[in-house]
Amino acid sequence: MILAYMDESGEAHYGKTMHRRPHFLRSCVIVRENQLASVEAAVQKLCSKLPLCSKTGQRCRFHAKDMFWGTGDWTEYKGNYDVTIGHMVDMFPIIRDHKLGITFGHIEKPQIHKQYRNPIPPAVLTFIQCGHIVEDWLNTFATDQRWLPCVGTSQHDKAIREAFNTCR
């Protein structure tokens, strides 16, 4: 089984903020099921090196948004790019060493909204883009495998699960 871990960046709707935040991006990390324990161990090792939050006394969470913007438990490290961005960059050797596949889907919401009368939601469009690339990856590297998207539980993720089941 191939696990496709997906997350998105941007607002997953066509709304008032569409012109202020015109892009929607979904990324996907492709992990073979038999690699999962090794990948999780490597990520746990990386997370054990994250700094402590002085407010909570706990390790800061590996959360790209908070790390990038210096928010949440990373607030005290805002502007210290060696600590914040540096720890995100530490993910690259894990990706390289495990030969993980990465794909992404990207749309410009105003362009889609202008071109179509009933545009498919950004979350579903980018999922379909990622899904096609995952399918191509499988056809090249793992012809005997099937894949399963690993997404959250939001309303947008529900639409993604429905799209996956319909396509399947």
Q: What does the pLDDT look like over 11-28, one tens digit per residue?
A: 888 988 899 999 999 999
Q: Is residue 102 part of a domain?
A: yes
| R_g of the chain computed on alpha carbons | 18
What is the residue range of 23's domain?
Answer: 2-36+97-167
Amino acid 168: pLDDT: 66
Q: How many domains does the chain have?
A: 1
Amino acid 145: pLDDT: 87
Q: Is residue 74 part of a domain?
A: no
Amino acid 92: pLDDT: 94
Amino acid 36: pLDDT: 94
Residues of the chain short of pLDDT 50, as ranges, are none
Q: Is residue 16 part of a domain?
A: yes
Q: Is residue 43 part of a domain?
A: no
Q: Is residue 46 part of a domain?
A: no
Q: Is residue 83 part of a domain?
A: no
Residue 168 Cα distances to 89, 131, 133, 156, angstroms: 35, 11, 15, 18
The string of pLDDT tens digits covering residues 91-109 is 999 999 999 999 999 999 9
- The model carries a pTM of 0.77
Amino acid 106: pLDDT: 94
Q: DSSP of 38-102, one letter per residue?
A: HHHHHHHHHHTTSPBPTTTSSBPP--HHHHHHT-GGGGGGTT-TTTHHHHHHTHHHHHHHTT-EE
Q: Is residue 75 part of a domain?
A: no
